[in-house]
Structure 1
Amino acid sequence: MKKKILIIIMFVMLTLSLSACSGMLNASGWPGISGDENSVYVAYANQVYALRLKDGSLNWRYPEKVEAARTYYANPAINGLNVIVGDYKNTLSALNIQSGTVTWTFEGATNRYIGGALVVGDTILAPNADHNLYALDLNGNLKWKFTAKHALWSTPIVHEDVVYLSSMDHYLYAINIKSGQLIWELDMEGAIVYSPSFDTDTIFVATLANEVVAVNALNGAIIWKNKSEVGLWSQPVYDNGVVYYGDTAGKIFAVSAINGNAIWDYMMGEMVSGAPAVMPDGVVFAGENGKLIALDFNGNILWTRSITGKLYTGPVIVDGLLVLGISQGEEVIKAYDFNGNEIWKFTPEK
């Protein structure tokens, strides 16, 4: 059963990553979402959209003329002046945040951008499926690159001057952000699809070896492991001493960040997807088949919603709204308040 689930997950991931090669205009991945106090930025299929946060109306889209072979699914990054987004045609573009016009492009990568870039100070960190993490200045010039052993599919995280990078090669890397030099590496014994999460001195990672692992951020030593009986398509998220995640059987877990011991669990009933979103009064989880559920910090139901379509990633909190990306549905984006009320929805023009 475990092997079958792993094969299914890997097949889905491979299908999504290769979808751009077909030249088809229909979307076959999931929306990449980010935002600020004014706008939500969505990378989906053949375009990038800037939407007004208050009502979901369109500010701009890029490009105006669709190029069939160029698709976007990586979460856009924001640096104040530009939106940084990678595509499946090996290009990282900086788009003016007001107009969507191209400020610059970086074409040094040799494969697609699946994971979103991250802007930290004067550095842009852009993971690519060509095994390289590219560090650029804010004008798109290469500072350094770090080469992993396999494809990079997730956004790195940064604490102080250390970049923590997960990879499909089973490794978690700690890298100096100024020089690109390796500080330590740890074999996690399974491919890592999602970004790690961070607490003061601990990193939390979910692997395709069906484990959630807590790692010492200073030296890469393993603190604890929780083995799942089934697959994990969920990113662990830390909040106030607790780590939240879910599995492919639909079970949600809240465990101690200190030792991994169970605090509570809840059966959602369908595969838990992506990263849960932490609200002031609880945590929101997305299910593959369209279920959205909010639980309080004791595991009690606050509210549930049913979405038409597939949810392969969790909601993103943007200035007090839960922004949800939807695949194979009537809409691509829906926004909810923290009480589960729908505020707006967005469907791209065809």
Structure 2
Amino acid sequence: MKRLKLGLLLIAAVTLTAGCLGRRTDVSWADIHPLNTEQQELFVSYKTDLYVINPITGNLSDGDTREATWQIEGNEFGAEFYTSPIFLNNRGDERLMLVADYNNRMWLINYDRACFSNLVGSCLSAPPETPPIQLPGHTFADFAQDDERIYVPLSEHNVIAIKKGIFATGWDETDEDEYDRRDRETFDIAWEFETDRGVWAQPLLLDGVLYIPTMDHHLYAVDTETGEELWHIQLDGALASTPVVHNNRLYIGTFGRSLYEIPLNNGQPSEDTLVHIDVNGWVWNSPVIIDDMLYLADLGGYVHALDISQGLATAKDSPRSWSVNAKGGGIRAEPLVLDAPTVREGEEPDFPAEYEDGVVIVGTREGQVIWLNRATGEIIDRQEIGEEILADLVFIPPSDENEALVIVSTVKDNRALVAFFLNTRQQVWTYPS
């Protein structure tokens, strides 16, 4: 999830739905995107900078092929970065990606060389005067993408679909006519879907349908090919998180202090088919679903575990379900839910006994990282960071080079990232150090 200007968004949110979150300040936090590399690198979008962090050391990374650390500074051309990048289908040996900046622009970047790029991957000495994509509005939520298009949510209203053109997958690149056609339409807008209010969360892409949560209290289902609405349904509050699908049902929380279950049938869901339960505060994060258990946190400071094996209607009655006040302040970020580590036959466990049932980890607005027993909700430990935590936590699995880590982001520039060992819960490093 994302780095937002919280104060401005909360003021806007108050006009959309009833509720109160307390302190309203203009703060930002990092968007952390794990990269699928040997180093398990972290791509960080934070204020005016893009950089890559080695999670083992907490230092700027130089990767395997780069001669210098990976960092792009946007202050010289008025850029603010809020979202994760998306990697494009490779053109040759160069890995290219698109990154949006808040000021209505998307930039093409050569990841391997940490430079602004043209369509063939050649480095540019400076950002081009005209960006590859000029957006019709601001964006601070992550995109969705399929083989042919990129779907960009805009913060004031609407979602646009952008053609990938030559960066699409599954076409015959030796067909010169097809190449010329795709070359001409690369990064053109395919369609724009209108919403009354902003889209503050990444849409969900599923089987040719884009599910769009909006701040106008509606969830829309849109055909990805045409941009035509298939159906919409109104819920009890603004939607600021991505829905999650499980057993042909969508789950999403609202600023109406509710969690909804929406059956995915062939037609329009009706109010009669909706199931919802009350929670203890606004929901600004997506549920996490593992083994028929749904984990959710809210801005009232509660963490919930719900057995949805039979659906949401009976979830609270299950002995597997629990709800705990973590007593650390509101929780904006998605819970980090981990299984108990695997123990090989004949070996002794090398993890704490309290992790035998798995663990749920949350970060709070009061600056605490809290570990809970996954089966019972019992609080195992809490560590004080002292700075507000709003971004999603990131798990770095163990390897031959490192122990398992939990990465936390705070709202303070001098503690943008903080790493803890999973097992000992001791702080390892901060960035900047």
Task: Confirm or deny a common fold (TM above 0.5).
Answer: yes
- Tell me what 2:249 maps to: 202
- Tell me what 1:313 maps to: 391
RMSD, aligned α-carbons: 2.8
For residues 115-153 of structure 1, give each alpha carbon's deviation from its aligned partner in whole angstroms, at most 9, with x where no partner exists. 012333343222112422222214533333322221111
Q: Map 1:204-223 onto structure 2 (within 5 A).
A: 204-218=251-265, 219-221=268-270, 222-223=273-274
- Retained in 1: the 8 A contact 2:365–2:388? yes
SS across alignment from 1:121: coil
- Retained in 1: the 8 A contact 2:280–2:301? no
Q: Map 1:25-64 onto structure 2 (within 5 A).
A: 28-38=27-37, 39-58=41-60, 59-63=69-73
Query: Aligned-pair distance for 1:14?
Result: 4.6
Query: Aligned-pair distance for 1:99?
Result: 2.4
- Tell me what 1:135 maps to: 161
User: Whose Rg is larger?
Assistant: 2
Shift of the 15–77 alpha-carbon distance from structure 1 to 2, 3 Å rule, reads farther
For residues 136-188 of structure 1, give each alpha carbon's deviation from its aligned partner in whole angstroms, at most 9, with x where no partner exists. 21453333332222111111122222221111111111222233222221111
Letter in 1 for 2:58: G
- Tell me what 2:411 maps to: 327
Shift of the 57–158 alpha-carbon distance from structure 1 to 2, 3 Å rule, reads same
Query: Aligned-pair distance for 1:78?
Result: 3.8
Aligned residues between the structures: 330
Letter in 2 for 1:345: T
Q: Map 1:1-350 onto structure 2 (within 5 A).
A: 13-14=9-10, 28-38=27-37, 39-58=41-60, 59-63=69-73, 66-67=75-76, 69-79=78-88, 81-103=95-117, 105-136=131-162, 137=164, 138=167, 140-218=187-265, 219-221=268-270, 222-257=273-308, 258-260=311-313, 261-262=315-316, 263-269=321-327, 270-280=329-339, 281-298=358-375, 299-317=377-395, 321-328=405-412, 330-339=414-423, 340-347=425-432
- Retained in 2: the 8 A contact 1:32–1:73? yes
User: Equivalents in 1 of 2:294, 2:369: separation in Å?
Assistant: 19
Unpaired runs of 5+ residues, structure 1, are 1-8, 18-26
Once the two structures are aligned, what percentage of the paired residues are identical? 19
Query: Aligned-pair distance for 1:102?
Result: 2.2
- Tell me what 2:349 maps to: none
Shift of the 129–336 alpha-carbon distance from structure 1 to 2, 3 Å rule, reads same
Letter in 1 for 2:71: R
User: Equivalents in 2 of 1:67, 1:211: separation in Å?
Assistant: 43
Shift of the 36–177 alpha-carbon distance from structure 1 to 2, 3 Å rule, reads same
- Retained in 2: the 8 A contact 1:322–1:335? yes
Query: Aligned-pair distance for 1:312?
Result: 1.4
Structure 1 ranges of 4+ moved more than 4 A: 9-12, 14-17, 318-321
Question: Which TM-score applies when normalising by structure 1?
Answer: 0.84
Question: Which TM-score applies when normalising by structure 2?
Answer: 0.69
**For structure 1, which segment, 49-58 or 317-326, has the greater mean C-alpha deviation from structure 2 after superposition?**
317-326
Unpaired runs of 5+ residues, structure 2, are 14-25, 61-68, 90-94, 119-130, 168-185, 340-357, 399-404
User: Equivalents in 2 of 1:103, 1:198: separation in Å?
Assistant: 36
SS across alignment from 1:275: coil
- Retained in 2: the 8 A contact 1:37–1:53? no
Shift of the 255–315 alpha-carbon distance from structure 1 to 2, 3 Å rule, reads same
- Tell me what 2:66 maps to: none
- Tell me what 2:346 maps to: none
Letter in 2 for 1:66: N
Shift of the 15–345 alpha-carbon distance from structure 1 to 2, 3 Å rule, reads farther
Decide which structure has greater strand share: 1
For residues 256-299 of structure 1, give each alpha carbon's deviation from its aligned partner in whole angstroms, at most 9, with x where no partner exists. 32125321111111111221122122222111111112223212
